[in-house]
A and B are shown apart, each in its own frame.
Chain A
């Protein structure tokens, strides 16, 4: 076989060197065309997909600025003919939506649960990362094991528990049951472990207390992880829907997502007034956009390891 091939090549070289050069040139040109075609296809695909991904956001914003009449046109406009900012004014004054109450409730629950959660997470992660105690590894493995269980399984009993505690329709019920996140402990423990143990031992020799060491050395070094946890936790409060709906869906404690889904935004005839609804959706989405623009890297750091939201 190999011999035959050699013969054939020899024949080719015999016939003409010019032809071979031309062949090479043609191959190069063909490759270049294939390359350009490939790039064009790649860009077309990516741009099309990007358009699909971004379109709902665009639709939300243009719809929120349209008049109801314009929104209902059979031939839609891709840009509002006139801006109706009153839709946004309505979001803040709508008696049915109660934006400010919802906003205050959500921020309060978010801030308090984030702070408490951070304290609990820091101490637990510190114990797992730096201290030695009997059954440490078994306990940590058991904690990680609970991450496999779907949260709905806990909710059934937790509903009864908070009811027995008399916590229904309070801020407590929105904050306390979710203060401990095994995932956050895991995330921070990994981060703490990267800090050399020698620093801790040196601090011990100097007579520094655990708390001081934690505050002065570990927390500053693990700050990016702590910021990630803060953002995820705040977003969790902003986006939570199921649990608040079950346990605190009264006007005084309702959170923003429940308020948004529950509010009617209807006109006098009882039809949904989409521009007003889209304005409310835009307002609720705005803080998330800001987080996305300014704090994206912290979220990406957290999510690439978990696959969960909030």
Chain B
């Protein structure tokens, strides 16, 4: 039987964590739901000591958010970035992990290099990517410097592209974001997949070798199925992270989240929520709950699919 003195002790040890969690985690959950159901709630009006505002109860915040063009832009950007970057980064990470696993010479140094982007500041390195894609506009018709990425493109025989400067196209902006997000997402995925590969029994590969199975067939018929739990894991965490994309965009485009003359073009759902904080809490809460709903549904779908497709 658990003696009461010990019970009391356990709660004492847990008390700092519980108090802080109650204030900064549990209360926000209830309050966000409450605010999202108070139509048009904003703290400035609510704090007005002279007027007692009544915010009608209802789903108005949700319907208003979904009709808001800015929010739809954010939703589109977020979904596009997710849908494009997660498959690309997962496939690249898989190929790199399989490649790394199959070699001996240079394996450790290469592994170290591939892990490097993980331990970085996404705003700081975003600024480096911005510089790589940026054109330095001079007086002439052609920019002084078209940026290192364009230099490489020109060396390969292509025309230079206006990636992030004023007047750049949405597609070009999106491409820059995709490159940066994939670059950023690779190390974690490689780490997890490589760990998974090292846990696969060598016997399967021996058997395939004896049978003279083709390399690509070994990859898709043995490695991928046996790696499926890890693949499911990196895809799910990739989607969750992707829906919360924000700081990588600030890193590239700055606080305006878009090229010069086109602010907030690359804005995301998290960006939308952040800008509504302290001003339009009702809308922000509704948007946050929608974001949570999307992440929840996508994760459930991923789990359901991976349960069907995951072997063993």
Contact = CB atoms under 8 A, between A and B. Distances in A.
B152 to A, nearest CB: 10
A278 B118 CA distance: 19
Contact of B292 (A50, A120, A149, A304): A149
A127 interface: yes
Nearest to B145: A72
A160 interface: yes
B288 to A, nearest CB: 4
Contact of B92 (A49, A63, A281, A304): A49
Interface centre among B7, B9, B92, B124 (most CB of A within 10 A): B124
Nearest to A246: B277
B110 A127 contact: no
Contacts of A159: 277-278
A205 interface: no
A180 B21 contact: yes
Contacts of A182: 21
Interface string B1-40: 0100011011101101100110111111101100100000
Interface stretch (A18-26, A36-44, A93-101): A36-44
Contacts of A121: 17
A156 B115 CA distance: 34
B28 A299 contact: no
Contact of B27 (A47, A74, A157): A157
Interface in A189-231: 210
Given A42-B99, A53-B116, A285 B291 contact: no
B183 A56 contact: yes
Given A50-B114, A120-B17, A150-B244, A56 B128 contact: yes
A148 interface: yes
A123 interface: yes
A239 interface: yes
Contacts of B144: 72-74
Nearest to B14: A127
A185 interface: yes
B9 A261 contact: no
Contacts of B192: 304, 307
A54 interface: yes
A133 B274 contact: no
B286 to A, nearest CB: 10
The SS class assigned to the A binding surface is helix
A143 B21 contact: yes
A153 B148 contact: no
Contacts of B273: 152, 155-156
Contact of A72 (B138, B295, B296, B299): B138
A309 B115 CA distance: 13
B169 interface: no
B62 to A, nearest CB: 14
Given A241-B250, A278-B131, A291-B119, A126 B13 contact: yes
Contacts of B285: 153, 156
A124 interface: yes
A239 B29 CA distance: 25
Given A49-B114, A281-B127, A307-B237, A71 B103 contact: no
A307 B28 CA distance: 24
A177 B128 CA distance: 31
Given A154-B25, A281-B127, A292 B116 contact: yes
Interface centre among A50, A136, A139 (most CB of B within 10 A): A50
A239 B121 contact: yes
Contact of B14 (A60, A123, A304): A123
Interface centre among B134, B255, B278 (most CB of A within 10 A): B278
A67 interface: no
A71 to B, nearest CB: 7
A2 B264 CA distance: 70
A87 B146 CA distance: 22
Nearest to A274: B131
Given A155-B277, A246-B277, A161 B127 contact: no
B288 A281 contact: no
Contacts of A239: 121-123
A240 to B, nearest CB: 9
B119 A235 contact: yes
B119 A299 contact: yes
Contacts of B233: 307
A131 B179 CA distance: 49
Nearest to B107: A46
Contact of B20 (A63, A120, A149, A304): A120
Contacts of A296: 112, 115, 119
B124 A153 contact: no
B191 A277 contact: no
A153 B35 CA distance: 11
A271 interface: yes
Contacts of B241: 307
Nearest to B189: A307
A123 B247 contact: no
28 contacts: A50-B113, A53-B114, A53-B116, A53-B117, A59-B132, A72-B138, A72-B144, A72-B145, A123-B13, A123-B16, A124-B14, A127-B13, A131-B9, A132-B2, A133-B11, A146-B25, A150-B288, A150-B292, A153-B288, A155-B28, A156-B35, A161-B23, A177-B24, A241-B250, A284-B121, A288-B121, A292-B115, A292-B119
Q: Which 7 A-B pairs have the closest CB atoms?
A: A157-B28, A307-B237, A131-B10, A133-B10, A154-B28, A292-B119, A123-B13
